[in-house]
Amino acid sequence: MQILVTNDDGVYAPGIRALAHALLTAGHQVTVVCPNQERSAASSALTINDPLRVERVQDIFDPDVAVWAVSGTPADSVKLGLNALLPAPPDAVVSGINWGPNLGTDVFYSGTVSAAMEGYLEGLPSLAISLVTHNETPDFAAPARLVAQLIDHLPQCPLAAPYLLNVNLPAVAELSLAMVRFTRLGTRRYRDLFEKRVDPRGRIYYWLAGTVIEEPPSDSPLTDIRAITQKLIPITPLNCDLGCTASLETMQASPWLGDRSE
């Protein structure tokens, strides 16, 4: 398969190098187009008021992998890769391996998921991959091999393309496809804290921090958050439809704004 690999941690992140190497070793043709620096939590932001600068990167990847570093966001990188840099559309887009989780409603902020979403919007099977760890030096080799196995099963995926799968991998020594569970998004909320500080010139600024509010326990259905706490591999299908069908039907049947037939 021809695979476009991207991320939001930047071209020098170890996760993307491990992923590109594992996919190449598995026999795929790999092209990397990603930000030239970390752009975590960039969501689907696009660069529209500045030019996008692109630089070929060598030495830190296998020489058989073509690598471009982009001055913009993860979404910029995939758009540019698909519409300008690659000679032909790839068979799939894979974003990651992200350092840290992208669970539940975190997907709305995630640059990793948004990069994969760009592939989905272009009609391509797309995967967002995250390693759920806060270890400063995680081992991405085993997770990358698991992703390569997962990619080999894409031709048998029961979903019609395009589709977007959000995959979170637990940080355990042994990973296997037997650990996969198909889940829905959980609810991941934060108790936000804006810490007020003063810089050396006396100007006030704020630093966003906070803690996760844990999802309440539930027996059913299985969410990605509960699956990861059980050291399983949640795969959650996503799409870009933010419409609320139940609200729409209620509003259509309501006399809220009176007779609007005229």
Instruction: Judge whether residue 90 has pLDDT over 70.
Output: yes
Q: How confident is the model at residue 210 (pLDDT cuts 50, 70, 90)?
A: confident
All residues at 6 or more sequence positions from 248 whose CB lies less than 8 Å from its CB, including other chains:
none
Q: Is 29 exposed, middle or buried (0-12, 13-18, 19+ CB in 10 A)?
A: middle
CA gap 179, 186 in Å, rounded = 18
Does domain 2-185+220-240 fall under CATH 3.40.1210.10? My reply is: yes
Q: What is the mean pLDDT of residues 178-196?
A: 90
What confidence score (pLDDT) does residue 208 get? 86
Instruction: Judge whether residue 260 has pLDDT over 80.
Output: no
All residues at 6 or more sequence positions from 27 whose CB lies less than 8 Å from its CB, including other chains:
none
Which residue, among 138, 127, 146, has the nearest Cα to 236 in the 3D structure? 127
Q: What is the rounded (10 degree) CA torsion for 100, 106, 107, 108?
A: -140
CA gap 34, 145 in Å, rounded = 20
Task: Quote the mean pLDDT of the chain.
Answer: 93
Collapsing DSSP states into helix, strand and coil, what is residue 57?
Answer: coil
